[in-house]
Amino acid sequence: MAAHAIDELKATGTGFTVERATVPGVKDLPVACKRLIEERGCDIVIALGMPGAEPIDKMCAHEASQGLIHVQLMTNRHIVEVFVHMDEAGDDRGLALLAERRAREHAVNAYDLLFRPGRLAKMAGTGQRQGFADAGSIDASRQGTGGAAAAHGGGGEGSGDAGAGGGGDTGGH
Amino acid sequence: MAAHAIDELKATGTGFTVERATVPGVKDLPVACKRLIEERGCDIVIALGMPGAEPIDKMCAHEASQGLIHVQLMTNRHIVEVFVHMDEAGDDRGLALLAERRAREHAVNAYDLLFRPGRLAKMAGTGQRQGFADAGSIDASRQGTGGAAAAHGGGGEGSGDAGAGGGGDTGGH
Amino acid sequence: MAAHAIDELKATGTGFTVERATVPGVKDLPVACKRLIEERGCDIVIALGMPGAEPIDKMCAHEASQGLIHVQLMTNRHIVEVFVHMDEAGDDRGLALLAERRAREHAVNAYDLLFRPGRLAKMAGTGQRQGFADAGSIDASRQGTGGAAAAHGGGGEGSGDAGAGGGGDTGGH
Amino acid sequence: MAAHAIDELKATGTGFTVERATVPGVKDLPVACKRLIEERGCDIVIALGMPGAEPIDKMCAHEASQGLIHVQLMTNRHIVEVFVHMDEAGDDRGLALLAERRAREHAVNAYDLLFRPGRLAKMAGTGQRQGFADAGSIDASRQGTGGAAAAHGGGGEGSGDAGAGGGGDTGGH
Amino acid sequence: MAAHAIDELKATGTGFTVERATVPGVKDLPVACKRLIEERGCDIVIALGMPGAEPIDKMCAHEASQGLIHVQLMTNRHIVEVFVHMDEAGDDRGLALLAERRAREHAVNAYDLLFRPGRLAKMAGTGQRQGFADAGSIDASRQGTGGAAAAHGGGGEGSGDAGAGGGGDTGGH
């Protein structure tokens, strides 16, 4: 998956270098990502993994995801998680194609987060679905309803400051 | 959803500016919200997303919610989570209407948390239900029993200081 | 629920003041409690909420509880969680009565944690059950077997220092 | 349970003092244990509780356990969790006997962690089972396979430094 | 299991020393591993345990895994988790063989993480499966699809820096 992600990154833009680290399993990803950020100066990380189909594997993926979110909060850097669960496709061929598509699409997301944040805002609500055919937007809705609503992991927008606060609020601006 | 939230904020009051950030999925929301608070000076954040209907999507929403709570504890700022699960309505139209209503009602909650905390206290126990018809209060109860008891995510009141403590308790007052 | 808790606190003792905060939902409780402790000098907090009966509501309550425990570890202050799940009683009347009883009994627990710790130790093993008839102690057991064994959330005792350690152990005494 | 643990500690060795704290429920244990360590200088804590048999009680125990692990990581002190779930025995008498046995056996574990770490290493793989008859070791295995493999909560060994690292690795030795 | 891991480490390479600690159960592993890193200067830790087959044991293993990931993020050191669940094999003999194989294979992973990171990268996508026959790579895929795709806990690669960022980005390089 990493090869596809790196290939897509290089096809998408320039002005960056790529560091790479490999770990035995998805539960080893959080600290590896933290070290890429803290020890190798990475501005964003793409964490790729392919958890198995058993309940224990789902739990490992959950623990890894919690750790990846924790790392982001410790470093204020984005980590784009690209997990492909082995039961997401019917056969190995489908799984490989899904893995490639998802890795490529998330590589573009990572690029956009760093260099083209405006593009993500424009895509919000159009139902982009990493690794699958796009789901399209919700017809009844004139504007997006969460953007990546059909994305694996759901869509999300972090709408900003609802108020600069008043008086001496140091957080205001 | 963000468009509705921002529209409602502007219809509710003034004295604030709005920052906006968009991310690929709900698991990218926690760090995006933290950066809005720490790097763009936001006093409160509304985190909007529309998780899918599959078990994996529910897990992603859970991980995102844990992260959003963690960010609040790291920053001492409120983050109002507005998630609409794709299986909360029977069709796209219902989903879009639910998403708009919930986004608008939570936008008012965010405004109240910053500018009208007293209004939230008055609403406690009246069974406000974001995005659905209000459930009303519990008849047998003369006063509220948790306020937003029927709210998505349950109702809650943080009753304050049960004691200033004695003697040299530095926490007292 | 907060009204009952505050009423019970005032009937139980004196020497404290009460601060109060209201939030839209239980997931907003953790940061609200942290701010009551850090910004308004509270020595203990009673967190009241009434989560809904759906699986999503149970998950929200779980996330809120994790956050409340995290706040306690960040502040070294107790937060007494008083959640009443909407499916804990058969009808609204029963729910309201349960909410009132639980709020009152946990208000006394909060008071005891601050002012009468010895009273909690005496109650250990007598099977106090917040909001329900007491379950009594386990007959075969001469002494308590966890105290609030039948309490909602289970009973617990934190038995202290199993050893002051030897030699240069700075933690010893 | 605490009484049995303390009795066993005093029968096992000397050179320590015992502090004790009681809380209303298991979710109040984490901060109570942290305060025993930070405010009363405890070197180790035994956290005893008896969660109920309902799903909500299992969730509370899970949240308490997560908190207890978090406290250990914040303080670098061991906390020996001794939970007896009310559905672990068929009747009250069996439950009381189980609680006493488990409390006593974990009290010895706590003592060993502080004063006799070598003894724990010797027990590894012999299948000690707190509160139940020992399960014995796995016959096909000449050496232990995790030690407390049959212990409530599973067995574990933290095998140490797999390498002192090379060059300027400050972590090496 | 620790004996096999240590034996394999010594057969794999030199230039390191091994520290060892034993704890009563898997939930005691996180703080034990943190102390091995912080107090005994370990550069990497192999955490071995054999959780039971009951739901409560699965939950304990989950809590332990979350704690082990937390320790890694607190210390920036890898902890290789080697858990063998008692229901992973049909009988004690199979369990013992699985435990030995998994301990040995993860010991090599630990060695590689410290001394041969390039070897892990080469193995990515070949479907190494700790403790079982290897699953092989996904035929339809010319390059790896996550590497340890079939590994217990799933495979993972942390692909590095997707961009050095522009302008004054201090994280860039």
pLDDT tens per residue across span D97-144: 999 999 999 999 999 999 999 999 887 756 555 665 554 444 333 222
Chain E residues within an 8 Å CB radius of D147 = 22, 50
* DSSP per-residue codes, D149-163: TTSTT-EEEEE--S-
The Cα of C125 is separated from the nearest Cα of chain D by a number of Å equal to 9
Which residue of E76, E128, E157 is in closest CB contact with A1?
E157
Task: State residue A131's pLDDT score.
Answer: 65
Q: Cβ separation of B99 and A146 shorter than 8 Å?
A: yes
Instruction: Find out whether E133 and E127 touch, Cβ atoms under 8 Å.
Output: no
Chain B residues within an 8 Å CB radius of C87 = none
Q: How many CB atoms lie within 10 A of CB C39?
A: 10
N- to C-terminal Cα separation, chain E: 43
Would you mind telling me the total number of residues written for chain E in this entry? 173
Left (φ > 0), alpha (ψ -120 to 50) or beta: where does D147 sit?
left
Task: State residue A122's pLDDT score.
Answer: 84
Q: Cβ separation of E156 and A110 shorter than 8 Å?
A: no
Q: Cβ separation of C69 and D30 shorter than 8 Å?
A: yes
Task: State residue A123's pLDDT score.
Answer: 77
Q: Cβ separation of A145 and B99 shorter than 8 Å?
A: yes
Chain E residues within an 8 Å CB radius of D164 = 15-17, 41, 43
The nearest alpha carbon in chain C to B120 belongs to C22
Average pLDDT along chain D: 79
- C-alpha to C-alpha distances, C60 to A66, B108, C28, C57, D29, nearest whole angstrom: 16, 21, 10, 5, 21
Q: Cβ separation of B159 and C17 shorter than 8 Å?
A: no
Q: In terms of DSSP H, where are the helices of chain B?
A: 2-12, 29-38, 55-75, 92-115, 117-123
Residue pairs between chains B and C whose CB atoms are closer than 8 Å: 247
Tell me which of E167 and C114 has the higher pLDDT. Answer: C114
Q: Cβ separation of A22 and E121 shorter than 8 Å?
A: yes
* C121 in reach of chain D (CB within 8 A): yes
Q: How is chain D split among helix, strand and coil, in percent rounded to 5?
A: 45, 15, 45
Q: What dihedral do alpha carbons C7, C12, C18, C20 form, nearest 10°?
A: -40
* D163 in reach of chain E (CB within 8 A): yes
Q: What is the CA C168 to chain-centroid distance, rounded?
A: 37
Q: How many CB atoms lie within 10 A of CB D166?
A: 12
The Cα of C82 is separated from the nearest Cα of chain B by a number of Å equal to 10
Mind spelling out the 3-state secondary structure of A88-100? CCCCHHHHHHHHH
- C-alpha to C-alpha distances, C143 to C113, C139, C157, nearest whole angstrom: 21, 9, 13
Would you mind telling me the total number of residues written for chain A in this entry? 173
Count CA atoms closer than 13 A to C60's CA, side-chain side.
Answer: 28
D partners (3+ CB pairs within 8 A) are C, E
Instruction: Find out whether E154 and A51 touch, Cβ atoms under 8 Å.
Output: yes
Q: In terms of DSSP H, where are the helices of C116-167?
A: 117-123
Task: State residue E151's pLDDT score.
Answer: 26
- Sheet of strand E44-50, all strands in order from the earlier edge strand to the far edge: E20-23, D155-159, E44-50, E78-83
C124/D50 Cα distance (integer angstroms)? 11
Q: Predicted confidence band at B56 (pLDDT cuts at 50, 70, 90)? A: very high
Instruction: Find out whether E151 and A25 touch, Cβ atoms under 8 Å.
Output: yes
Task: State residue C153's pLDDT score.
Answer: 31
* B34 in reach of chain C (CB within 8 A): no
* B59 in reach of chain C (CB within 8 A): no
pLDDT digit string (tens) for C36-55? 999 999 999 999 999 999 99
DSSP-assigned letter for residue E26:
G
B138/B86 Cα distance (integer angstroms)? 29
Q: How many CB atoms lie within 10 A of CB C93?
A: 13
B151/B129 Cα distance (integer angstroms)? 4
Q: Cβ separation of E70 and D66 shorter than 8 Å?
A: no
Task: State residue A161's pLDDT score.
Answer: 39
Tell me which of A50 and E133 has the higher pLDDT. Answer: A50
Which residue of C73, C77, C128 is in closest CB contact with D74?
C73
Which residue of E22, E37, E41 is in closest CB contact with D157?
E22
Instruction: Find out whether A124 and A25 touch, Cβ atoms under 8 Å.
Output: no
Task: State residue E123's pLDDT score.
Answer: 77
A40/E162 Cα distance (integer angstroms)? 12
pLDDT above 90 for B141: no
* B55 in reach of chain C (CB within 8 A): no
The nearest alpha carbon in chain C to B58 belongs to C56
Q: Which two tokens stand for residue B44?
A: 């409160």
* A149 in reach of chain E (CB within 8 A): no
Q: How many CB atoms lie within 10 A of CB B91?
A: 11
Instruction: Find out whether E68 and E30 touch, Cβ atoms under 8 Å.
Output: yes
Hey, which bits of chain C come out as E strands?
Answer: 20-23, 44-50, 78-83, 155-159
Q: Cβ separation of B145 and C29 shorter than 8 Å?
A: no
B83/A102 Cα distance (integer angstroms)? 24
pLDDT above 60 for C106: yes
Tell me which of B66 and E152 has the higher pLDDT. Answer: B66
SS3 A70: helix
pLDDT digit string (tens) for E64-100? 999 999 999 999 999 999 999 999 998 999 999 999 9
C105/C107 Cα distance (integer angstroms)? 5
The Cα of C165 is separated from the nearest Cα of chain D by a number of Å equal to 7
Chain C residues within an 8 Å CB radius of B169 = 43
The nearest alpha carbon in chain E to D71 belongs to E31
For the residues C87-112, what does the mean pLDDT come to? Answer: 95
Average pLDDT along chain B: 79
Q: Which residues of chain A have a pLDDT value below 50?
A: 135-173
* A42 in reach of chain E (CB within 8 A): yes
B145/B138 Cα distance (integer angstroms)? 7
Report the b/e string of A142-163 with b at 16+ CB within 10 A. ebbbbbbbbbbbbbbbbbbbbb
Backbone angles phi, psi at B54, to 5 degrees: -80, 155
Q: Cβ separation of C121 and D22 shorter than 8 Å?
A: yes
E56/A165 Cα distance (integer angstroms)? 47
Chain B residues within an 8 Å CB radius of A66 = 63, 66
Residue pairs between chains A and B whose CB atoms are closer than 8 Å: 245
D62/D54 Cα distance (integer angstroms)? 13
- Of E44, B61, D156, E99, the closest CA to residue A28 belongs to E44
- Sheet of strand C155-159, all strands in order from the earlier edge strand to the far edge: D20-23, C155-159, D44-50, D78-83
The nearest alpha carbon in chain E to A106 belongs to E162
C108/B163 Cα distance (integer angstroms)? 12
* B57 in reach of chain A (CB within 8 A): yes
CA A128, B37, C48: angle at the middle one, nearest 5? 95
pLDDT above 80 for C65: yes
